[in-house]
């Protein structure tokens, strides 16, 4: 098995464009167009991560590669033909919007298929032993997308597509998804809700987005009962709370499940300074959460980039994660570390957050999603 970290990316994914929005509000009436940008899901967060890696020299230590787009056969394992045909037709005719906050321009179908293909390549590189671990700089993201309804900037369910392709190729039987994007991974949850061959864990800000999903009592259905685990945290949680969640809830559940591979739905929007959430994680938080997972997987994991909307801070969070994955000596010093950590909760709030984790653990245990 190779000890390299694969980094799977493609410039064309940066060319995906959204529609006529100002932050999350459609332009029109009293909503003015924005001078620059539009949707928060913009290419610069991802492009600047790749640029930072090039400047520090980290790119030269990784196995850099692109991938072929996911095929129609790959997509049909997750999405119905009716949705894919409607998406392709609208994409070919200049773009539009099919779901909730998922506007897209011309050529979006091909770019979204490429984004899914990057995740497929990352997963298969690890399962085939061609890389120890892998990071897919996927864009557009995927964890909110339902089989027939795009949602929250997500047009195709990238991780689910990759899992189903790997399974069909006989590369794995049991998969675990740890989604630490600050928004609930409702799409991944819905796709695997009635199955026990995929463990889905979502750590998210409570009722941030979507506001009506992500509760602790949704632990799966039928055969999948007990294999869906939601960890909704109150606004203001930061470094200590997230590491506590990982240590006391996520890691024990991963050890119980013993998946062939762990896939991280890797959003960086729980970090301080993100415009779409109110959490207080730092780049170090992501590095240490990665370390916690690698400790129980012998370094074997796959990361698929999801959200994160601070153009300045996302690159440092991603770089810190890749430092840990690759074992490099290269560092990109966090320029905002002192500002984030100076606003961390005091000991009384820490105690409150620990109590929150206690409560969530007890709820999950009572519902049957967690057992110590």
By annotation, the residues acting in catalysis are 144
DSSP classification of residue 368:
T
DSSP structure string for 208-256: SSSTT---TT----GGGTTSEEEEEE-TT-BHHHHHHHIIIIIHHHHHH
Q: Which residue has the tokens 């949850």?
A: 189
In angstroms, the Cα distances linking 256 to 73, 253, 334 are 33, 5, 35
Closest CA to 107 of 89, 119, 80: 89
Our CA dihedral for 28, 31, 35, 40, rounded to 10 degrees, sits at -100
Cα separation of 318 and 314, whole Å? 6
Cα separation of 206 and 211, whole Å? 8
Which strands, in side-by-side order, build the sheet including 175-179? 63-65, 5-8, 133-136, 301-305, 261-266, 175-179, 198-205, 228-233
Cα separation of 133 and 257, whole Å? 19
Mutual orientation of helices 108-127 and 81-92 as an angle, nearest 10°? 130
């Amino acid at each position: 098995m190779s000890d390299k970290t694969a980094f799977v990316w493609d410039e064309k994914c940066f060319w995906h464009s959204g529609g006529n929005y100002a932050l999350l509000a459609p332009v029109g009436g009293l909503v003015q167009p924005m001078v620059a940008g539009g949707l928060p899901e913009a290419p610069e967060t991802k492009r600047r991560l790749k640029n930072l890696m090039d400047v520090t020299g980290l790119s030269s230590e990784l196995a850099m590669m692109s991938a072929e787009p996911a095929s129609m056969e790959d997509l049909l394992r997750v999405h119905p033909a009716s949705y894919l045909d409607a998406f392709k037709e609208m994409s070919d005719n200049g773009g539009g919007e099919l779901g909730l906050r998922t506007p897209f321009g011309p050529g979006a179908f091909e770019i979204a298929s490429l984004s899914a293909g990057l995740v497929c390549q990352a997963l298969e590189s690890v399962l085939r032993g061609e890389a120890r671990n892998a990071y897919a700089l996927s864009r557009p993201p995927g964890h909110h997308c339902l089989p027939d309804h795009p949602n929250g900037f997500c047009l195709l369910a990238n991780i689910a597509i990759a899992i189903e392709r790997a399974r069909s190729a006989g590369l794995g039987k049991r998969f675990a998804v740890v989604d630490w994007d600050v928004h609930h991974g409702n799409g991944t949850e819905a796709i695997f809700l009635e199955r026990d061959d995929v463990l889905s864990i979502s750590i998210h800000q409570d009722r941030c987005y979507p506001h009506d999903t992500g509760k602790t009592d949704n632990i799966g259905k039928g055969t999948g009962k007990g294999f869906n685990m939601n960890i909704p945290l109150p606004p203001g949680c930061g470094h200590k709370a997230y590491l506590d969640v990982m240590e006391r809830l996520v890691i024990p559940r991963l050890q119980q499940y013993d998946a062939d591979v762990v896939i991280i739905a890797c959003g960086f929007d729980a970090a301080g300074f993100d415009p779409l959430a109110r959490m207080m994680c730092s780049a170090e938080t992501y590095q240490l959460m990665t370390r916690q997972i690698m400790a129980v997987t012998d370094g074997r994991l796959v990361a698929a980039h999801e959200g994160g909307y601070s153009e300045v801070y996302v690159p440092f969070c991603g770089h810190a994660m890749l430092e840990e994955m690759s074992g490099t000596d290269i560092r990109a010093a966090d320029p905002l570390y002192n500002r984030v950590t100076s606003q961390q909760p005091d000991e009384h709030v820490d105690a409150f957050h620990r109590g929150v984790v206690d409560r969530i653990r007890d709820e999950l245990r009572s519902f049957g999603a967690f057992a110590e």
